[in-house]
Amino acid sequence: MRAVTEELRKEKKIETVRKAQSVIREWKEKEKAEDDPVVRAMISRTAPLPPGAALTQGQKVFLATIRKEGEVASTPAPEDRELEVVVGGMKLRVPRDQVRIFPNAPRAKESRPSKTAGRGEEASPALYLQTPGNTLDLRGSYVDDALPEVDAFLDRLSLAQTPHAFLIHGHGTGALKTAVRRHLAASPYAKRFFPAPREQGGDGVTIVLL
């Protein structure tokens, strides 16, 4: 019994250390971004997006997490947790709290769909924004170790109201991928999950909507 108790204590310590390491990594990434002179200059010219603030299609915004300026792709509803932003010709789905606005910029005029577009044409779907903070790399982990780590990770993101997460499990034998997705199917955190698009790792990565 004593041996079992000691083993459980060790496992609990390991899990605590992993959580602490994850938080420290996020802090370091944030500090690194804020130390960049370009990022500092852009942050000084921008302001956080107030909750429920109205945005217009074509309005310029700044994404500090990826240090890029972009444009609002479509006018969001005030209650939307994510926005579609075009950055470098690529459409991204970005958490609302990661968007900064240019307070002194002239208000953009909302563009209308082109009349010349074919009826069968559809806009390409937006990619979900991936950052170190919303990504968990499980490659090389055993299933028994990976699943509790997934739960702890999704719990932390849910508390932070992060709208989506990336779980990198790779392909390998397929055992880890299958176990993770089966686990997500019964998870109270996952509203929906699906393989990432090819540009973001394809079937070796699972995107989870929280």
Which pLDDT tens digit goes with each residue over 1-43?
A: 555 445 545 555 455 445 545 544 554 455 555 566 766 777 7
Its pTM stands at 0.64
Which residue is listed with tokens 């990565």? 205
What's the CA gap between 188 and 184, in Å, rounded? 8
Domain assignment present for 117: no
Domain assignment present for 114: no
**Residue 135, token pair as written in the block:** 């990504």
Same domain, 102 and 136: no
Which has more pLDDT, 37 or 79?
79
Q: What is the mean pLDDT of the chain?
A: 80
> How many structural domains does the chain have?
2
CB 129 within 8 A of CB 65: yes
Same domain, 67 and 149: no
Average pLDDT score over residue span 116-145: 77
Same domain, 65 and 102: yes
Per-residue pLDDT at 44: 81
Per-residue pLDDT at 26: 53
Give the bridge partners for 175, in sequence order.
Answer: none
What range defines the domain where residue 153 resides?
A: 130-209
Per-residue pLDDT at 23: 46
For the packed helices 143-159 and 175-185, what is the interaxial angle rounded to 10 degrees?
40
Average pLDDT score over residue span 91-101: 90
Question: Which of the four pLDDT bands, split at 50, 70 and 90, describes residue 206?
Answer: very high
Q: 3-class SS at 52?
A: coil
Question: Residue 165 belongs to a domain with what CATH number?
Answer: 3.30.1370.110
Same domain, 79 and 141: no
Question: Residue 91 belongs to a domain with what CATH number?
Answer: 2.30.30
Average pLDDT score over residue span 114-122: 40
DSSP 126-190: PEEP--GGGEEE-TT--HHHHHHHHHHHHHHHHHTT--EEEEE---TTSHHHHHHHHHHHT-SS-
Give ∠ CA 208-93-46 in degrees, rounded to 5: 130
Which has more pLDDT, 197 or 32?
197
Whether residue 209 has pLDDT greater than 90:
yes
Domain assignment present for 119: no
Which has more pLDDT, 71 or 78?
71
Domain assignment present for 98: yes
Least confident range from 23-37, 48-62, 136-150, 156-170: namely 23-37
Average pLDDT score over residue span 154-173: 94
